[in-house]
Amino acid sequence: MKDLIKQGLRLGSIFGVVIIFLILFGLTSTLSDILGEFVNLESSTRTGNPGGLIIFFAILSLWAGSKATASDRSNWKPALVSGVSVSLIIALLISGFILLVGFLDSLDVAMRDYLAQLDHLSIQFLLYGRDLTTGVLLTFGIFFFFGILGALLAYWYEAKQAGEVIQKQVLVLKEKVLDSKLAKQYKENPRSKWIGYGLLGLVVFITPQFLGKYWNYAMGTVGIYVLMGLGLNIVVGLAGLLDLGYVAFFAIGAYTAGLLTAPAPLPLQIGFWPVLFFSIVMAAFAGILLGIPVLRMRGDYLAIVTLGFGEIIRVLIRSDMLSPYLGGPQGIRDIAGPSLFGVSFSGKAYLYLIILAILLIILFTNYLQNSKVGRAWMAMREDETVAQAMGINTLYYKLMAFATGAAFAGLGGALFAARNQYTGPADHTLMVSINVLSLLIVGGMGSIPGVIVGAFVLKGLPEILRELDLYRLLVFGGLLVLMMIIRPEGIWPAPRRRMELHEGELDVLPPEENLVGKEG
Amino acid sequence: MSILETRNVTKRFGGLSAVDNVTLQIPEGSIYAIIGPNGAGKTTLYNCITGFYPADEGDMLFNGKSLMGLSPDRITRLGISRTYQNIRLFPAMTALENILVGAHPQLKSNYVDAILHTPRQRAEEKKALEDAQDLLNFVGLKGKGDLLARGLPYGEQRRLEMARALANKPKIILLDEPTAGMNPNESVTMMRFIESLRDELKITILLIEHDMKVVMGISEFIYVLDFGQLIAKGTPGEIQKNPQVVESYLGRGAADQHKQPSKRI
């Protein structure tokens, strides 16, 4: 009993302190706004409608309460005891905190000078727009009540074995679906794979029609990151060369497209299509140029040199000295977009163009992966010395890996510049390289679907949760750390990588994923 | 005519001559062995022949063509394969993929073929896959092609490494302690296997080996190294009678046989 209370108090204080931090960061009001919008309460810090905040607090305390009973859910008594102790301490901490800031606010202490989030309006919001006593008591009540409710619900869930029951039903349902005639026909038909692809393709091609202008733009950005992710996947995922300056090739693609099509700083104004091709070639060429000096480097040294290369490119395009040729800090304006049969591309058409580019690149990546080139890259990643002893010209294949990855990034850069009709140094910071590498890690290194999922998570989610934009870096960091702990292989890993990280659990590649098992 | 020849090869590390003025001649279609105590320079000599260490002096000829100054991949492509004392497979690739990497020099398609998936590349890939499967069966790993190399038991890893070396269709194969860590039964199987390479595939064999039973059992001719120098050469019968070898090596070698294989370096 004593242990339970102690445990509950400890957990409660952790939760309490974390929630206070969330309030101080201002994350509470942001999340309440989102929740409020979600249930159509029009609640927000501005309107002063506290519905979202109440829901947010209720969810937090339900969660805390259910966590509290994790150690013993066999009986309702221990569940209740730990639930009460957790919710009591959280309720005391939070309402105490709100009492403190509310009291200070009523004395007109300007806390805002020290903590940006604690202005008068936000504090009023935390008090649900009521007076101090009511607000504090309400907070206490919410946390206490929902905390205990959470504990009891968790107990009930366990006692009724609701989890298992639901799981069983899902399994039964799954069996039924899989055993159905249609499913069998689908599985036995060798062409069914193409039906799946066809449906997917149809969805991909119809979706942009229903997206608004903003979403088309956002999805286009995601798409460009998918392109870069696929390129870096070859360099890092397949060939094992850690490249931290990947943005350089993106910049070279974008600037080649920009300089050759824009009226200034160079009055060339060549059409988009030949320039697109030229951008890819330039980026690939830059990839080889970077590759030559770093050929004999491995691991950390390679990472540092590539990092430097990325920065050099950024500094060059920013420099005043080169601004007559490269546009300097202002960048390049009025970059020409593509046109087909006299019709120039608009938002939707760009998205289609990007999707087409992605499909093409996926096809190429797939072919490369399942060829002697892909195997040579993998062998180099595994053991460079032995790879060379197998007759693989490691210098050549390293250069090809750099060039291929760079070409994909160059394509992405050219499309990016043409779509925005502008590109400048701010588009090509180190952050881009880090984003692309992060999306590989989050999605799953070496896996094509992983790249797509990763790009959606890292570039798409922030667009969806636009209000959370301020916290993107925080969320990034948290997400990456969490990923490394819970699922080091990524969200949608390549089967081979899953095997590497979960040794012994599965040591056979499923035939359809086997590189060599594929019938071309 | 010798398929592989070294002439006065010397390799120094600092002041130490790891390989000192060594001259070997390996005739085509033979099984030759190099023996010598630990640290005698046997593996260093292999590394010189395969191009990983540039030899400081001397010359090495393969079918009359000098190997000096060639990169390891070029040398492999000429038809010289090797295995390693401590097995060095590509651990996170499957058995079949390991063999296919070994077949790399045999595949003529280039990067453009690969990225465009040309009919020529597809045909070649299909053929390579069949050949790799055959090799897998040849070394007795039938049905294990989709297993990760590092998941295989020790003996099978040795055989897989051999298959990978064979995928290059070598003219000569340099084996580095092929029976290390094997029990007497396994050693005998390996001996028969090595002989079959020569008899069936017409591959010349050079091996480094500590197990005297294996060395005396299969080699036609033996070179003895000690402190980097060639101290004796001859048929197994001659080597067994050579007083210098018996004194400096065979006595120790016989004792070595009872030691754990992991203790050998």
Phi/psi for A444 (5° steps) reads 125, 110
Dihedral (CA of A425, A431, A433, A439) sign: negative
User: With an 8 Å Cβ cutoff, are A387 and B101 in contact?
Assistant: yes
pLDDT tens-digit readout, A245-274:
999 999 999 999 999 998 878 887 888 889
Q: How far is B232 from chain A (nearest CA, A)?
A: 30
CA distance A383 to B56: 26
Confidence of residue B265 (pLDDT cuts 50, 70, 90): very low
Q: Taking the CB of residue A243, how many other CB atoms lie within 10 A of it?
A: 32
Residue A477 sits in the same domain as residue A364: yes
Structure tokens of A515?
A: 């590189």
pTM more than 0.90 = no
Q: A516, A518, A519: which to substitute to probe chain B, counting the most B Cβ within 10 Å?
A: A516
Nearby residues of B71 by Cβ (< 8 Å), 6 or more positions away: A388, A393, B51
Same domain, A54 and A111: yes
- A379–B101 C-beta distance less than 8 A: yes
Query: Between the ranges A20-29, A326-335, B22-31, where is the mean pLDDT highest?
Result: B22-31
Per-residue CA distances from A312 to A228, A247, A252, A279, B190 (Å): 19, 11, 12, 19, 57
Residues A106, A100: Cα–Cα separation, whole Å: 10
Q: What distance lies between CA A22 and its chain's CA centroid?
A: 22
Mean of per-residue pLDDT scores for chain A: 83
B100–A516: do the CB atoms touch at under 8 Å? Answer: yes
Q: State the residue for tokens 């492999």.
A: B76
Q: Which residue has the tokens 């040795």?
A: B158
Reported in sequence order, the residue ranges of B14-84 that DSSP labels E, i.e. its strands, are 16-27, 31-35, 57-62, 65-66, 80-82
**How many domains, chain A?**
2
Whether A107 and A159 map to the same domain: the answer is yes
The mean pLDDT value for B165-194 works out to: 92
Residue B7 counted as domain residue: no
Pairing of strands B172-176, B80-82: parallel
Residue of chain B whose Cα is closest to the Cα of A370: B114
Would B10 be classed as within a structural domain?
A: no
Q: Which domain holds residue A237?
A: 198-493
Q: A500 vs chain B: nearest CA distance in angstroms?
A: 7
Assess whether A70 and A122 both reside in one domain.
yes
How far is residue A88's CA from residue A45's CA, in Å, rounded to a whole number? 27
Evaluate if residue A520 carries a pLDDT over 90. Answer: no
- Collect all residues with Cβ–Cβ distance below 8 Å to A499 and sequence separation of at least 6: A505, A506, A507, A509, B92, B148
Q: How far is B254 from chain A (nearest CA, A)?
A: 32
Torsion angle of the four alpha carbons A270, A273, A277, A280, in this order, in degrees rounded to the nearest 10:
90
**Which residue of A381, A390, A397, A501 is the best one to mutate when testing the B interface, meaning the one whose CB has the most B CBs within 10 A?**
A390
Q: Label residue A468 by pLDDT band (50, 70, 90).
A: low
Out of A105-114, A391-400, B40-49, pick the least confident: A105-114
B192 in any annotated domain: yes
User: Is A85 found in the same domain as A40?
Assistant: yes
Answer whether residue B17 is part of any domain. Answer: no
Same domain for A244 and A113: no
pLDDT at A516: 45
Looking at the domain assignment, is residue B15 inside a domain?
no
Q: How many CB atoms lie within 10 A of CB A203?
A: 9
Q: Do B115 and A367 touch (CB under 8 A)?
A: yes
| Mean pLDDT of the region A238-244 | 92
Residues A291 and A401 in one domain: yes
How far is residue A174 from each of residues A167, A171, A195, A205, measured CA to CA in Å? 10, 5, 21, 29
Crossing angle of the two packed helices A27-38 and A2-25, in degrees rounded to 10: 90
For residue A508, the chain B residues in CB contact (below 8 A) are: 146-148
A380 with A398: CB under 8 angstroms? yes
Q: Looking at the structure, do residues A102 and A225 belong to the same domain, yes or no? A: no
A423, A332: one domain:
yes
Q: Give the highest mean pLDDT range of A43-57, B172-186, B248-262.
A: B172-186
**pLDDT recorded at residue B246:** 77
Chain-chain contact of A516 with B132 (C-beta, under 8 angstroms): yes
B14 assigned to some structural domain:
no
* Confidence grade of residue B18 (pLDDT, cut at 50, 70, 90): very high
Q: Say how many CB pairs under 8 Å bridge A and B.
A: 120
Could you say which DSSP state residue B263 is in? Answer: G
| Burial tier of A488 (Cβ tally within 10 Å: 0-12, 13-18, 19+) | middle
Task: Tell which wins on pLDDT, A475 or A233.
Answer: A233
Q: How far, in Å, CA of A6 to CA of A17, rounded?
A: 17
Query: Percent of chain B having pLDDT more than 70?
Result: 93
The CATH code of the domain that includes B33 is 3.40.50.300
Summary mean pLDDT of chain B:
89
The SS3 call for residue A392 is: coil
Structure token digits, residue B247: 């004194």
* HSE-CB of A430 using CA atoms within 13 angstroms: 10
Q: Which tokens go with A182?
A: 């249609």
Beta carbons of A371 and B76 less than 8 Å apart: no
Q: Label residue A508 by pLDDT band (50, 70, 90).
A: low
Q: Do A373 and B132 touch (CB under 8 A)?
A: no
CB contact under 8 A, A378 and B148: no
What residue numbers bound the domain in which B150 lies?
25-263
Structural domain includes residue B11: no
Binary contact (B114, A389; C-beta < 8 A): no
Same domain, A343 and A384: yes
CA–CA min distance A440, chain B (Å): 19
Three-state DSSP class for B71?
coil
Query: Is A378–B122 a contact, with Cβ atoms under 8 angstroms apart?
Result: no
Q: Which residues of A touch B123 (CB under 8 A)?
A: none
Give yes or no: residues A125 and A221 share one domain: no
Give B47→chain A minimum CA distance, Å: 10
How many residues can be counted in chain B?
265
- pLDDT at res. A502: 62
For position A208, what pLDDT does the model report?
A: 81
pLDDT at A42: 62
Question: Does any domain span residue A501?
Answer: no
| Contact flag A378-B97 (C-beta cutoff 8 Å) | yes
pLDDT average, residue stretch A57-84 = 80
Number of independent structural domains in chain B: 1
- Cβ pair B215, B234 in contact under 8 A: no
Q: How far is B114 from chain A (nearest CA, A)?
A: 6
Point out the residue among A379, A500, A507 whose CB comes nearest to the CB of B147: A507
Tokens found for residue A47: 């309107």
Residue A487 lies in a domain: yes
Asked whether residue A315 is assigned to any structural domain, the reply reads yes
Is the Cβ pair A392, B126 closer than 8 Å? no
Tell me what pLDDT residue A22 has.
82
Q: Closest to A507 (Cβ–Cβ): which among B84, B116, B148?
A: B148
Q: DSSP string of A256-298?
A: HHHHHHSSSSS-----HHHHHHHHHHHHHHHHHHHHHHHTT--
pLDDT at A514 over 50: no
| Complex ipTM over 0.95 | no
**Chain A residues whose beta carbon lies within 8 Å of the beta carbon of residue B166:** none
Q: Which residues is B205 bridged to in the sheet?
A: B31, B173
Flag whether A192 is in a domain. Answer: no
* Residue B5 falls inside a structural domain: no
Coil, helix or strand at residue B107 = coil
Tokens representing residue B188 in the block: 């005998």
Task: Specify the length of chain A in residues.
Answer: 520
The answer to whether the CB of A419 falls within 8 A of the CB of A220 is yes
Is the pLDDT confidence value at A419 over 50? yes
Whether the per-residue pLDDT at A189 is higher than 80: the answer is no
A229 and A82, same structural domain?
Answer: no
